[in-house]
């Protein structure tokens, strides 16, 4: 196995890469991030091996809009992709899917988990409504989303599916409801794509599973690089403390959070905290997302994708039926009097309700803004983490930033401890880092290289569109079954049979067993044609004997005159007027039959001219004489001066050089080597032309 990284900017288009790597093309495995390479956002990783192509995720970059937000789809030919696997519903993993399905030549199959699919639709419809871009910049509309829904197929955790020989299944990833890690198996080479994952169990989600098989390649997220999370309990305490103290000082708390996923976890925390603190009951918590309300049914239904804790709670009452949290439709319905806690989307404060509230509250130092998760580069949320003095409001004016800004991460991504433990457990020989900001990723890479220094582990962090090429010499194993396998052969014996390949499994079997072990069946075609012929049967026999070595009557006595030619074609004289010819279809049989037909037709046509009956009984001697004559005349035409010395001996004289040829064994005596060779070759050719074809092929 070897791996190499092509120079940045090298062209990736399939046909080109084929041309550049003619050797071992089949064994080459290519992984190319089309997005999320050294960045966070627009996750999309292309993978191809043995002519099978898989695309993982299909997201957009939240910091850009329009076409600029898409992954680099123009680097690939969408029509060649067999399977597209979407890990979870977040926009940076799923939001370019409608575009990819509806606006490109993609014609493969798409899979995601049940919960992901249910939320995907709600989330993207919302995204289309909320994103305020011009019509030209719209990547797709509501209709495209609905149409894409029909093309998306669902997969359950651990369920193994196979498409075109690509086998894949998924594991719980922990990140959000329905989040999955995909394991793909192509011809025995396994690739694990983690998507976003978390190894920590929280209030409602399970921790990511450790796959029971170690993959050959692990494509892993590196969002948090080498950072370490505080324990969950401490983070929760900080979170509730910040909110509690802000409120008790009469401030307002803004939590810009993504509508779905982590928000549900925060709401569970808040609801529980409120129910434990009666003094807070008069402080309203608003959840400004109609989307979340609509998604509640999904959260209630896919309870089986969550952890035991929440399932046990579900038995009593629905834990997502919040007591102290009320929905907020829009800023117009918001009665901003006194302290309150508002959770609003989007998480990056780009636009929408969270931004409106931010603009309203940012200059008051009593207020607080709690950023509860990872924020993408280029968004306002990222900017305010560094606590600048001033911020630009949506209307273009600047305002002082007086409100408190806290960054308490609840985003369920793995931290360094989890990543390192996860990889330690799996021990993949190749690790490809994606979904991480370049510096963060670089640090992680260094640290992992140190960690795995004593193993032969390759750690790569390709940029967008930069291909990673690896070679897997796969050993093709075939199973010989059925009659062919009655006994295991010894070294040196030959095995002949049908090699049947389905997907990536090979079987060798006898043709007769084909229908037993596959859905295919074999056939024998027997042909029987009747030929008008009224001449004597013996004439046919004579003529055929001139052509074929084996023209025999059948072993048992037939009722009518019968001949078997070349062991294949049976000719019967059914009546005075016609013959029938019967044989079993195969190329040689067809050829023989054609020549027999030609002979018979010729006899019929030349009818009266058949006078050479006397010649029929040619003796061996005569044949030899004839052959001798032919050889002589041909040699004369080639070399000119040829003399017959004695029986079977010829002397060829060319430019004074003399060669003696023995006609019986083809040996040549000559002083001149070149003449010797020429005569020898010529004689061999003549011989093979004159002598009849041996019957060995039968």
Partner 1 sequence: MGTSVQMTPLCGVYSENPLCYLLSIDGFNFLMDCGWNDLFDPNLLQPLSRVSSKVDAVLLSHPDILHLGALPYAMKHLGLTAPVYATEPVYRLGLLTMYDHYLSRRECSDFDLFSLDDIDAVFQNVTRLTYSQNYHLTDKGEGIVIAPHVAGHLLGGTVWKITKDGEDVIYAVDFNHRKERHLNGTVLESFVRPAVLITDAFNALNNQLYKRQRDQEFIDAILKALNADGNVLLPVDTAGRALELILILEHYWSQQHLSFPIYFLTNVATSTIDYVKSFLEWMSDSIAKSFEHTRDNAFLLRHVNLIINRDEFEKTAEIPKVVLASMDSLEVGFSHDIFVEWATDARNLVLFTQKGQFGTLARMLQVDPPPKAVKVTLSKRVPLVGDELIAYEEEQNRIKKEAALKASLSREEELKASHGSDTNAPDPMEVDASTSYVSSGSGLRSAGHLDVFIDGFTPSTSVFPMFPFFETTAEWDDYGEVINPDDYIIKEEDRDQASMQILHGDLDIKIEEGSARLLLDLTPSKVASTELTVQVKCGLTYMDFEGRSDGRSVKSIIAHVAPLKLVLVHGSAEATEHLKQHCAKHVCPHVYAPQIEETIDVTSDLCAYKVQLSERLMIDCMCTDIGDYEIAWVDGEVGKTDDMLTLLPLPSAPLPHKSVLIGDLKLADFKQFLASQGVQVEFAAGALRCGEHITLRKISDASQKGGSGPQQILIEGPLTEEYYKIRKYLYSQFYLL
In sequence order, what are the residues at sequence separation of 6 or more whose Cβ sits closer than 8 angstroms to the Cβ of residue 645? 651, 660
The least distance separating partner 1 from the CB of residue 549, rounded to whole angstroms, comes to 17
The 10 Å Cβ neighbour count of residue 429 is 17
Letters for 584-623 (x = contact with partner 1 by CB under 8 A, - = none) are -xxxx--------x--------------------------
Among residues 277, 281, 502, 691, the one that binds partner 1 under rule CB under 8 A? 502
Asked if residue 521 binds partner 1 (CB under 8 A), the reply is: yes
The DSSP result for 240-266, as a single string, is: HHHHHHHHHTT-EEEEE--TTTHHHHH
Q: What letter would DSSP give residue 304?
A: G
The DSSP result for 357-374, as a single string, is: HHHHHTT-TT-EEEE-S-
The least distance separating partner 1 from the CB of residue 511, rounded to whole angstroms, comes to 4
Among residues 496, 611, 637, 688, the one that binds partner 1 under rule CB under 8 A? 496
> From CA 469, how far away is CA 3, in angstroms rounded?
6
Asked if residue 529 binds partner 1 (CB under 8 A), the reply is: yes
221-229, 301-309, 430-438, 639-647 -> range binding partner 1 (CB under 8 A): 301-309
Contacts with partner 1 by CB under 8 A: the residue count is: 86
| CA distances from residue 265 to 41, 227, 409, 417, 635 in whole angstroms, order as listed | 22, 22, 12, 22, 99
The 10 Å Cβ neighbour count of residue 302 is 17
The DSSP result for 42-82, as a single string, is: S-EEEEEETTEEEEE-----TTS-GGGGS--GGGS-GGG--
Site for partner 1 in 456-485 (CB under 8 A): 475-482, 485
The least distance separating partner 1 from the CB of residue 519, rounded to whole angstroms, comes to 6
CB 192 within 8 A of CB 475: no
68-76, 80-88, 527-535, 628-636 -> range binding partner 1 (CB under 8 A): 527-535
Asked if residue 114 binds partner 1 (CB under 8 A), the reply is: yes
Among residues 136, 308, 556, 621, the one that binds partner 1 under rule CB under 8 A? 308
- For partner 1, give the closer residue by CB, 525 or 614: 525
Letters for 532-571 (x = contact with partner 1 by CB under 8 A, - = none) are x---------------------------------------
Among residues 134, 450, 490, 619, the one that binds partner 1 under rule CB under 8 A? 490
Q: Residue 385 in 3-state DSSP?
A: helix
Letters for 195-234 (x = contact with partner 1 by CB under 8 A, - = none) are -----------------x----------------------
Among residues 231, 400, 489, 607, the one that binds partner 1 under rule CB under 8 A? 489
- For partner 1, give the closer residue by CB, 442 or 503: 503
Asked if residue 67 binds partner 1 (CB under 8 A), the reply is: no
247-255, 304-312, 362-370, 379-387 -> range binding partner 1 (CB under 8 A): 304-312
- For partner 1, give the closer residue by CB, 586 or 606: 586
Asked if residue 506 binds partner 1 (CB under 8 A), the reply is: yes
The least distance separating partner 1 from the CB of residue 325, rounded to whole angstroms, comes to 20
Asked if residue 311 binds partner 1 (CB under 8 A), the reply is: yes
SS in 3 state form for 553-573? CCCCCCCCCEEEECCCEEEEE
Tokens of 154: 């669902």
SS in 3 state form for 315-347? HHCCCCCCCCEEECCCHHHCCCCCCEEEEECCC
Asked if residue 523 binds partner 1 (CB under 8 A), the reply is: yes
- For partner 1, give the closer residue by CB, 59 or 497: 497
Asked if residue 276 binds partner 1 (CB under 8 A), the reply is: no
Tokens of 639: 């070399």
- For partner 1, give the closer residue by CB, 212 or 395: 212
Residue in 172, 155, 171 with CA at minimum distance from that of residue 163:
155
In sequence order, what are the residues at sequence separation of 6 or more whose Cβ sits closer than 8 angstroms to the Cβ of residue 679? 639, 652, 659, 661, 668, 670
- For partner 1, give the closer residue by CB, 11 or 560: 560
41-49, 157-165, 196-204, 549-557 -> range binding partner 1 (CB under 8 A): 157-165
The 10 Å Cβ neighbour count of residue 694 is 8
In sequence order, what are the residues at sequence separation of 6 or more whose Cβ sits closer than 8 angstroms to the Cβ of residue 657? 670, 671, 672, 675
Asked if residue 501 binds partner 1 (CB under 8 A), the reply is: yes
In sequence order, what are the residues at sequence separation of 6 or more whose Cβ sits closer than 8 angstroms to the Cβ of residue 291? 122, 123, 126, 259, 260, 345
Sheet holding 325-327, edge to edge: 325-327, 285-288, 340-344, 252-256, 368-371, 404-407
Asked if residue 282 binds partner 1 (CB under 8 A), the reply is: no
Among residues 105, 160, 249, 602, the one that binds partner 1 under rule CB under 8 A? 160
Among residues 19, 520, 536, 591, the one that binds partner 1 under rule CB under 8 A? 520
Letters for 166-185 (x = contact with partner 1 by CB under 8 A, - = none) are ---x----------------
Return phi, psi of residue 241, to 5°: -65, -45
Asked if residue 450 binds partner 1 (CB under 8 A), the reply is: no
The least distance separating partner 1 from the CB of residue 24, rounded to whole angstroms, comes to 10
* Residues recognised as catalytic: 413
- For partner 1, give the closer residue by CB, 154 or 610: 154
CB 314 within 8 A of CB 303: yes
The DSSP result for 163-180, as a single string, is: ETTEEEEEEE-BSSTT-E
Q: HSE on the CB side for 152, CA within 13 Å?
A: 30
Asked if residue 121 binds partner 1 (CB under 8 A), the reply is: yes
307-315, 327-335, 457-465, 685-693 -> range binding partner 1 (CB under 8 A): 307-315
> From CA 40, how far away is CA 377, in angstroms rounded?
8
Letters for 316-355 (x = contact with partner 1 by CB under 8 A, - = none) are x---------------------------------------
User: Distance of alpha carbon 539 from its chain centroid, rounded?
Assistant: 65
């Amino acid at each position: 196995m070897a791996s190499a990284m092509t120079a940045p900017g090298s062209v990736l288009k399939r046909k080109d890469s084929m041309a550049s790597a003619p050797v071992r093309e089949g064994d080459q495995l290519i992984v190319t991030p089309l997005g999320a390479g050294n960045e966070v956002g627009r996750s999309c990783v292309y993978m191809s091996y043995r002519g099978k192509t898989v695309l993982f995720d299909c997201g957009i970059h939240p910091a850009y809009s329009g076409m600029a937000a898409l992954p680099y789809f123009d680097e690939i030919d969408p029509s060649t992709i067999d399977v597209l696997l979407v890990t979870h519903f977040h926009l940076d993993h799923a939001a370019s899917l409608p575009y990819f399905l509806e606006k490109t030549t993609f014609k493969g199959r798409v899979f995601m988990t049940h919960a992901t699919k249910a939320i995907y639709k709600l989330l993207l419809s919302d995204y289309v409504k909320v994103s305020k871009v011009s019509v030209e910049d719209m990547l797709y509309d509501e209709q495209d989303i609905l149409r894409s829904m029909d093309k998306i197929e669902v997969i359950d955790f651990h369920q193994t599916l196979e498409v075109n020989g690509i086998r894949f299944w998924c594991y719980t990833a922990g990140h959000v409801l329905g989040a999955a890690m995909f394991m793909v198996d192509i011809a025995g080479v396994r690739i694990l794509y983690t998507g976003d994952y978390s190894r920590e169990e929280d209030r409602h989600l399970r921790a990511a599973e450790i796959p029971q098989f170690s993959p050959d390649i692990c494509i892993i997220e590196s969002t948090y690089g080498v950072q370490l999370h505080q324990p969950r309990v401490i983070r929760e305490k900080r979170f509730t403390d910040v909110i509690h103290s802000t409120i008790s000082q009469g401030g307002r708390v803004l939590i810009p959070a993504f509508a779905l996923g982590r928000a549900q976890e925060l709401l569970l925390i808040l609801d529980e905290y409120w129910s434990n603190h009666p003094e807070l009951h008069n402080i309203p918590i608003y959840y400004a997302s109609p989307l979340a309300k609509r998604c509640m049914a999904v959260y209630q239904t896919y309870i089986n994708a969550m952890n035991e804790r929440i399932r046990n709670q579900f038995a009593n009452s629905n834990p997502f039926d919040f007591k102290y949290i009320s929905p907020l439709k829009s800023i117009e319905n918001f009665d901003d009097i006194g302290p309150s806690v508002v959770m609003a989307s989007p998480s990056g404060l780009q636009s929408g309700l969270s931004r409106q509230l931010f603009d309203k509250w940012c200059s008051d130092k009593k207020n607080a803004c709690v950023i509860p998760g990872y924020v993408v580069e280029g968004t306002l949320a990222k900017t305010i983490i560094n606590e600048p003095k001033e911020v630009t409001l949506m209307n273009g004016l600047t305002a002082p930033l007086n409100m408190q800004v806290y960054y308490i991460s609840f985003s369920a991504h793995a931290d360094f401890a989890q990543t390192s433990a996860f990889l330690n457990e799996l021990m993949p020989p190749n690790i490809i880092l994606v979904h991480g900001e370049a510096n963060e990723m670089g640090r992680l890479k260094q640290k992992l290289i140190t960690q795995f220094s004593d193993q032969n582990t390759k750690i790569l962090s390709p940029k967008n569109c930069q291909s990673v090429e690896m070679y897997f010499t796969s050993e093709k194993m075939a199973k010989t079954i059925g009659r062919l396998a009655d006994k295991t052969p010894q070294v040196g014996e030959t095995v002949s049979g049908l090699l049947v390949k389905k997907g990536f499994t090979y079987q060798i079997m006898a043709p007769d067993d084909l229908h037993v072990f596959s859905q295919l069946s074999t056939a024998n075609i027997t042909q029987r044609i009747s030929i008008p012929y009224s001449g004597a049967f013996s004439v046919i026999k004579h003529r055929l004997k001139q052509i074929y070595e084996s023209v025999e009557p059948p072993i048992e006595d037939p009722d009518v005159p019968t001949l078997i030619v070349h062991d294949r074609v049976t000719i019967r004289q059914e009546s005075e007027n016609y013959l029938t010819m019967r044989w079993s279809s195969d190329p040689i049989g067809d050829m023989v039959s054609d020549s027999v037909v030609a002979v018979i037709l010729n006899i019929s046509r030349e009818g009266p001219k058949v006078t050479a009956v006397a010649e029929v009984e040619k003796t061996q001697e005569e044949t030899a004489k004839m052959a001798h004559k032919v050889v002589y005349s041909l040699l004369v035409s080639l070399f000119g001066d040829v003399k017959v010395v004695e029986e079977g001996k010829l002397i060829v004289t060319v430019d004074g050089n003399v060669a003696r040829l023995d006609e019986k064994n083809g040996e040549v005596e000559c002083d001149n080597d070149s003449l010797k060779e020429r005569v020898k070759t010529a004689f061999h050719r003549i011989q093979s032309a004159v002598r009849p074809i041996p019957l060995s092929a039968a």
